[in-house]
Amino acid sequence: MQITDKNTSTESSIPAEKITRAFTQAKTEGRGVLIPYFMCGYPSAEQSIELIVAAVEGGADIIELGMPFSDPLADGATVQHAGHIALQRGMNIKGCMEIARQVSARTSVALILMGYYNPVMAYGLERFCADARANGVSGLIIPDLPPEEAGPLQQIAQANGLTLIFLLPPTTTDKRIQQVVDLTLSEGNGFIYCVSLSGVTGSRDELPAHLHSFIERIHGYTNGRIPLAVGFGLSTPAHIAEVTSYAEGAVVGSALIHLIDKHSPQEQVTAIRQYIQSLAQK
């Protein structure tokens, strides 16, 4: 559990090092890193903070904070639904920063903002990265930002001690894998987000048959120098156990939104904490 008193914690001068430490600790303990995804502002700003803290109490190692966007191309119906509700209730980048601030004040977990590039550009790259650091964020995931165009944001992120994390789908070319490996190595912290299947997010009953070979293909380029985390479609303890037998981390997103939707506000915190405990390999 990474709950902390912010006044007595010692924070690294490089926020991204929190991510590296999470993977290092998990490796020492012989398990994978568990990375839950929460949409900021869903089901409300206040409740999303409590749910994130409950996930940390349940054993989450890193938290992805989703920033809602009106045109989320990579999101399946479940995440789109959560983002739509969050936007309707007034969530924006400034609100996501406030959620990060409150979570980082109550826990020592690494936080990663995940969202689309247009709102980030509209907010201003310099301002976005500076505010992210000031509010306890360690990394960024921008799914619609290709590596070829990521230079400006990556440079500003690194100047603020943040890491920019890239996604690789199963259909990716060898050239793209090498490019993402080189960019990630240049940062010195972070991981590569391996998308389990081509398409949008959403929980599924079975993991793709090709997943293990896909991860081994990327391992051939990283040679153990960069952690790999698998996301899209993971929802059960068996999924997490299987994925972390050949990758260093696992991301769970849509299943958490389904769980929130199935419980009353009074039940959600306990339900999330218990679900994360069932997934955590601790």
- 51-67: per-residue pLDDT in tens? 999 999 999 999 999 99
* 218-246 residue pLDDT tens: 999 999 999 999 998 899 999 999 999 99
Q: Is residue 131 annotated as a catalytic residue, yes or no?
A: no
* 85-124 residue pLDDT tens: 999 999 999 999 999 999 999 999 999 999 999 999 999 9
Count CB neighbours of 74 within 10 A.
16
Q: What is the mean pLDDT of the chain?
A: 91
Give whole-number Cα distances, 168 to 67, 147, 184, 187, 229, in Å: 20, 10, 12, 17, 10
- Closest by alpha carbon to 98, among 161, 49, 168? 49
- The residue to which tokens 């190692």 are assigned: 61
- Which residues in the chain belong to E strands, given as ranges? 33-39, 62-66, 110-114, 139-141, 163-165, 167-168, 192-195, 228-231, 249-252
Catalytic option among 17, 64, 131, 248: 64
Which pTM does this prediction carry?
A: 0.92
Catalytic option among 61, 75, 131, 248: 75
Asked, as a colleague might, if the bond just before 170 is cis with ω within 30 of 0, I would say no
pLDDT band of residue 78 (cuts 50, 70, 90) is confident
- Report helix angle 254-262 to 77-88, nearest 10: 60
Q: One-letter amino acid identity for 157?
A: A
Q: Is residue 75 annotated as a catalytic residue, yes or no?
A: yes
Domain extents in the chain: 17-279
Angle at 259 between CA 132 and CA 263, to 5 degrees: 110
Matching CATH number, 17-279, of 3.20.20.70, 3.40.50.2300, 3.40.50.800, 1.10.1420.10: 3.20.20.70
Element (H, E) at 185: helix 174-187
The predicted pLDDT at position 6 comes to 40
Distance CA 150, CA 14 (A): 20
